[in-house]
Every structure is written in C-alpha cells, then in structure tokens.
Chains A and B, each alone.
Chain A
Amino acid sequence: MTAEYRFLVVEDSPTMRQLITFSLKRIKNVQVTEASNGVDALKKLSEDKFHLMIVDINMPLMDGLKLLSIVRKDSTHGQIPVIIVTTEGAAADRDKGLKLGANAYLTKPIQTNDLLNSVREILKIE
C-alpha cells in the first residue's frame, strides 16, 4: 500500500522522534521517515519526496533553522511545509522561525493534539 502522506521528522532526541512518529501515525495512511540532524535530513530529502517536515531547532551538525533556510532556497523542496518543534519558547525565536518560512511553530513539551491539528490544517486533512 502506498502512503498518502510522507513526513520527515528531524529531531536529535530519539525519545522525541519516537513520540512525534507515534503521534503522526494517528493520521491514516502515513509514512514517517526519521532524521537525527539537519545533514541527515538533507540526505533523506534527496532520496525521497515528502509532504511535510517536522523540525527541531537545537540539533548537532546542522540546526533546524539552518536546515529550514537551505530547504526554502531549494528549487525542488522549497515548497515543503515545515513545522518547527522546539524548547525555544521566546517570541523572538518564534518570529525568527516564521520569518525563515516555517508554517507553524510549536514549543515543547508538545501536545499531540496541537501537533496533529497543525499537520491537518497545513495539509488540509479532514
């Protein structure tokens, strides 16, 4: 069965990756790919097409904001919706993320419903 939606979760914490994947799988017909940092995410992006990315900010090798700015400048993946999930709750961080082109900005600890609502709203899933 082909997945209707393919999501890329970019998060260095295995616990958070598992929790986000666990939450996303509550949407029907979803395939989730995991990446542990920005570099890993770019590799995964070159291998597959994704409908949405969920990105943490603080990660080793390449952080989420750097990844977001690279993705937005890319002609192939520039239009992929991005949800930032981070511990950085200050308004300045939120503004920075949204200015770089994030479609939503969620702060940890994440509420599964907030994450699912954002995904459904961005992808217009009933």
Chain B
Amino acid sequence: MDKKGDSEIEKKANEFLKIFRKGEEFTQELLKENERLRYKILELEEQKHNVQRVDNSETLTKLAEALKKLENEKRALLDQFKEVEQENKDFAHRYVEVEEENNNLANLYVASYQLHSTLDLQEVLRIVIEIIINLVGSDRFAVMLLDENATELSVVASEGIDDKRFKKMTIEEGGIIGTVARSGKSYYETDLENFTPISEYHPIVCIPLKINSHVIGVIALFGLLEQKKKKLTRVDFELFSMLAGHAATAIFSSKLYSQSERKLSTMQGFIDLLSGG
C-alpha cells in the first residue's frame, strides 16, 4: 500500500512537473512575444517620429519659400511705391511749374492785349507805363523814342524821374542807353544786389523797341519797387522781350495812324476848299 501510494504520488508529481514545465515554456514564449512586441512598438514609434520630422521639415521649407516670395513681393511693392511717390513729386513739381507758366502767360496775354487795344499814341504810352509799374514792378523808368534821323533819343513817357533834366540825348553820348539804341541789343545789370550806379541815370535794364531789326527807341529802367527785393524774375525778362516787340509795333502803328489821320484831315480840307471854290 505504501509503495502503491508512493508511485501515485510520484506520478502526480511528474504530471505536475510536466504541467509546470509546459507553464514555464508558455511563460517563456509569452515573455519572448512580449519582448518582440515591445521592440515592434519602439520601431513603430521611431518610424512615426521620423515621418513627423519629414513632414515638419517639408512644411517649414514650403513656409520659408512662401515667406521669401512674400518678402520679394513686399520689396517689389515698396520699390513701386517709391517710384509712384517720386512720380507724384515730379507731377506736383511740374504742376507748380505749369501753374507759374500759366500765370506768366496770363500776364503776357493781358499786356499784349492792352498794348494793341488802341491806336492812340498817348494811350499806348500810358499802357506801357502801366505794364512797367504793375507787371514788372519798376518805379523809375523812361520810354524814349528816336528821331527821324535816328541820332537823338527823346523821353516820351516816364515815371519817377525828373523829365526836365532827363529829356533828350544823342545816341553817341547816351552811354548804355545810346549803345542799346545803336546795337539793338538789350542790357541787363547782372548783379542788382551790389549794383552801384555811376550816374543818376545809369539803367539797370535797357531794352530796345524794335520792329524786326529796326530800332525806334528804348525803355530804360533805373530802379525797382522795394518789394521786388532787387531781383528780376523769368517773367520779367519775358515781359521785357514782349515789350521790345509789341510796345514798338503799338507805338509805331499809333504814330502812323495819327500821321495818316492828320494827312487825311489836310486832304479833306483841300478837297472841301476845291469843291467849295
């Protein structure tokens, strides 16, 4: 009975051992599988991380490219803005110039229109005086005409000068004024601020009154209004050149007209006398 009992116990122990070994093997396999899976997880995590890194760097590259493109666009726009701004400045500058030109042309138009609005010599001379005072801004000047022999200049209109003392001069003894009458070339004192007249009637400006190349007289300016601040502007020179031509033709036409009127009235007198007789 003891032997039989022992062998049963041994048998059961062996079975238990078998089961235990199987359990051990199974546990070993589980551990291995576990280890493999852990490794797999690590591998996958690593892959995932790499994939993300690739994605991020691509996005960054794209963003950097977009940024660069935008910066270029910004630079181009800024350049365009600067160009437009410069153009605006140029236009503004040009606008001021055109405005000034318009104003100057208005002055010249009015002066020329007035000069040719009459055939009366005294009226023409009054207009010349108005132009010189109001448009040029001179308060001391004389308008002088040459006699028929073109040797003597006589003052026919003046402002701010003693026309009893300054009345006539021959072109030979006339200094600057005589030279202008002889040569037909305008004279302008260049440095008005430091100008010291050598005589009472030393002109700062002297312009010939010309019809084509034929000089009929001169306009001599001896002083400017205080507010002109001893400066001649571009429009002043344009007015001088306009006066040189237009005042000359206006004066000449009015003289011719008055002469023809006189002749007409003389002839009419003769006709009346003859027809009456």
Contacts and interface: CB of A to CB of B under 8 A. Distances in A.
Size band of the A side of the interface?
10 to 19
A15 B225 contact: no
Contacts, number: 58
Contacts of B114: 14-15, 18
Contact of A109 (B106, B109, B137, B226): B137
A87 B130 contact: no
A108 interface: yes
B107 interface: yes
Nearest to A12: B130
12 contacts: A15-B134, A16-B134, A18-B114, A89-B225, A89-B227, A90-B226, A107-B227, A108-B137, A111-B103, A112-B102, A113-B99, A113-B100
Interface residues of B, number: 24
Interface of A: 13-16, 18-19, 22-23, 87, 89-90, 107-109, 111-113
A109 B131 CA distance: 10
Contacts of B134: 13, 15-16, 19, 87, 108-109
B103 A112 contact: yes
B110 interface: yes
Contacts of A109: 134-137, 225, 228
Interface string B223-245: 00111100000000000000000
B166 interface: no
Contacts of B107: 19
